[in-house]
Amino acid sequence: MKTEMKIHPTAVVAPEAELGKDVIIGPYAVINSPVNIGEGSVIGPHTVIHSFVRIGRRNQIHAHAVIGDTPQDLSFSNLETWVSIGDDNILREGVTIHRSTDPNAPTHIGNNCYLMAYSHVAHDCTIGQSVILTNNVLLGGHVEIGDKAVLGGSAVVHQYCRVGAYAMVQGNGSVGQDVLPYSIVGGHPVRHYRLNTVGLRRAGIKGERYRILEQAFWQLRNGADLSDLPETPEITYLRAWLATKSKRGLHRFAAKNSTE
């Protein structure tokens, strides 16, 4: 379907690469194979897409992004491992995303995510839906980021850490343990401060549902479980998240009189 694509004459595209309808490939881009790029996606100048990459529909990938390079893992053998990217994502200039180390589980980016300039997603990471990584965010290997989480500029997340849905990591934060869903963390060292009030309000989580989450946060801060709380979608998710085995443990809570 090359008549329906726009490939700049300086781009290098492997003949076996599968490009959907209305894909645009910019100057000096390099597309290897096997690669699949969904319809309506735009690949910017000087972007490199290595082998074993699947990209969904209507993605915007800006200049000098590099997707699908091999894992930065000294134990990695030359296996067929993948990167999988969903639909409607924006990857700004200089973003890097590495293949997984596991042939059965790709490094994965969901839908509607915004990865800002020079953010890095290491091998075996899993990023949910509508996640924002601000400029220069670095994710180590095997990191999990929940839906609608926001990571501030130059935040760093250690390998195997989890950042729950709707959480916010403040800029320059160095995350070395798990971050609770719905929370804000920051500081040096990183601590849980409070609920992500703005993010929850934008998501329509308010009224009684918000009050119950406040109670959950207070109980967790004080070492209590959540067994006495009424069932809401947020509490159901939070209980399941807490029940999932963690390799890093949970970041501590800030002092109760903290002004953060």
Which of the residues are catalytic? Answer: 123-124, 141
Return the SS3 of 211.
Answer: helix
Run of H or E including 125: none
Rg (CA), the chain: 20
In angstroms, the CA 259 to CA 150 distance is 21
At residue 197, φ and ψ (nearest 5 deg) are -60, -45
In the chain, the amino acid numbered 19 is L
Please check whether residue 127 is in contact with residue 142, taking contact to mean a CB–CB distance below 8 angstroms.
Answer: no
In angstroms, the CA 106 to CA 117 distance is 22
Four-point Cα dihedral 35, 39, 44, 47, nearest 10: -10
Please check whether residue 200 is in contact with residue 206, taking contact to mean a CB–CB distance below 8 angstroms.
Answer: yes
In angstroms, the CA 111 to CA 90 distance is 10
